[in-house]
Amino acid sequence: MSLKAFFEQRWRALLVCSALQFGVLVGAPMRPEEIRELMHRMNQPKLAHVLPDKSDEGGDGPVRE
């Protein structure tokens, strides 16, 4: 994991926890199950969409005469 990704993950967790704390201060109800589910979703690995390389296309390729 790169240093940038580490700090982005920490910043995101701090932001979510701050939002939850703000909700507590203003009196917004949130069940512990909802908090656990939210924290679990944040820890799930993210899927990245990767474009295929030109050499991975397969097929006939360029025509040679």
pLDDT digits (tens, 9 = 90+) for 15-58: 988 988 898 899 888 788 988 898 888 888 777 777 777 765 55
What secondary structure letter does DSSP report for 56? Answer: G
Quick check: is 55 in a domain? no
Asked whether the predicted pLDDT for residue 65 surpasses 70, the reply is no
Quick check: is 18 in a domain? yes
Asked whether the predicted pLDDT for residue 62 surpasses 70, the reply is no
Reduce the DSSP state of residue 55 to 3 states and report it. Answer: helix
Quick check: is 54 in a domain? no
Quick check: is 61 in a domain? no
Domain count, the chain: 1
Residue span of the structural domain in which 33 resides: 7-42
Q: What is the DSSP string of 7-23?
A: HHHHHHHHHHHHHHHHH
Asked whether the predicted pLDDT for residue 59 surpasses 60, the reply is no
Q: What pLDDT was estimated at residue 56?
A: 57
Quick check: is 58 in a domain? no
